Structure 1
Amino acid sequence: MPRKNKTTGFFREIAQAPTTAQERTDAAVRLIRETEAEKRADLTASLRAARIARDGRGTEAGPVSGTAKPRV
């Protein structure tokens, strides 16, 4: 049974470059997705920090907005 990881030689932590067109495409897509996910995470963190600073809540928990009224 062939190995799942595509490493050869003595230094097994160094992976081989993708060889087929499909593998190269997959590697490019994976790289693009990872960089876009990092950008979104950074933007989300900065917007969250700005919103907390604007509201002046800091680390304390404020009232939850949008709570439903109890049904009678």
Structure 2
Amino acid sequence: MPRKDKTSGFFRELAQAPCTAQERTDAAVKLIRETEAETRADLTAQLRAARIAHEGTGAVSAAPPAKAKTRG
């Protein structure tokens, strides 16, 4: 079975530029997904820090959460 990577030896770690339309599309999608994942991770970290800071100050909401009504 032929090898899928076209480089050999020391330079195997370097990524090659995509050459077909499918590879260019895949590379673009990968880049978009990575940037969106980083954005989500940053937002999650900010929200988590804000929640911890809010809980750390002892602030409590004005009304306790309402229980769900059961149908009887």
Calculate the TM-score normalised by the size of structure 1.
Answer: 0.68
Secondary structure at 2:2 match in 1: coil
Task: Work out whether residues 7 and 15 of structure 1, in 8 Å CA contact, stay in contact via their aligned partners in 2.
Answer: no
List per-residue Cα deviations over 1:24-70 (Å, max 9, x = no partner).
0000000000010011001001101101101117xxxxxxxx8xxxx
Higher helix fraction (1 or 2): 2
User: Deviation at 1:6?
Assistant: 3.3
Q: Which residue of 1 aligns with 2:25?
A: 25
Structure 2, unmatched stretches of 5+, are 58-64, 66-72
User: Deviation at 1:10?
Assistant: 5.5
Instruction: Quote the RMSD (CA, aligned, Å).
Output: 2.2
Structure 1, unmatched stretches of 5+, are 58-65, 67-72
Task: Work out whether residues 18 and 24 of structure 1, in 8 Å CA contact, stay in contact via their aligned partners in 2.
Answer: yes
